Amino acid sequence: MQPSKGKLIFDDQCEFCLWSIWQLRKLDWFKVIEFIPLAKASQIMSSHSITPEAMQSKMHYISPCGHVTAGAEAFRAFGKKIPILFPLAVMLHIPFALKLASFIYMKLAVNRYAISRLIKCSSKNCSTHRKT
């Protein structure tokens, strides 16, 4: 019997987010995370009371037992499952470390479409190709 995987919901309309998920997939040696693009996550979002507005501001991780975390807290949760990220995830339990990580995460999240333009996105999904 295969153990249950955690689920990471991410913005699949953001080239920076796609690049980040590509990196995480390479680090997830034991395949403990199921990566779910936002465009295909409506059912799981509604079953865990995650609003579309919340998803637009932060990635969300749903642990195998159903606990939902977002942003830097999500990184802390799934980072413990990935051996190479484990030390960094544990460090986020140091007082004020999560607060600092949350600040950095929010700065990246708010500017993710601008960062996508800087990394010269290659897909039609990125904000440089999207009509707003």
> pLDDT digit string (tens) for 1-31?
567 899 999 999 888 899 999 999 999 999 9
Structure tokens at 107: 């700065």
The answer to whether position 47 is within a domain reads yes
- Read off the pLDDT of each residue in 40-56 and give the average, rounded to a whole number: 95
The answer to whether position 99 is within a domain reads yes
The answer to whether position 127 is within a domain reads no
The answer to whether position 1 is within a domain reads no
Q: What is the pTM of this model?
A: 0.85
Is residue 122 very low, low, confident or very high in pLDDT (cuts 50, 70, 90)?
low
Across-strand partners of 9? 36, 60
How many angstroms separate the CA atoms of 98 and 110, rounded?
18
Q: What are phi and psi of 34, to 5 degrees?
A: -100, 120
The answer to whether position 23 is within a domain reads yes
The answer to whether position 11 is within a domain reads yes
Q: Which residues, including other chains, have CB under 8 Å from residue 72's CB and lie 6 or more apart?
A: 92, 98, 101, 102, 104, 105
- Read off the pLDDT of each residue in 48-66 and give the average, rounded to a whole number: 95
Number of domains in the chain: 1
How many angstroms separate the CA atoms of 127 and 41, rounded?
20
Predicted local distance difference test score (pLDDT) of residue 64? 96
The answer to whether position 14 is within a domain reads yes
Across-strand partners of 8? 35, 61
Average pLDDT over the chain, rounded to an integer: 89
Predicted local distance difference test score (pLDDT) of residue 115? 86
Domain encompassing residue 80: 6-118
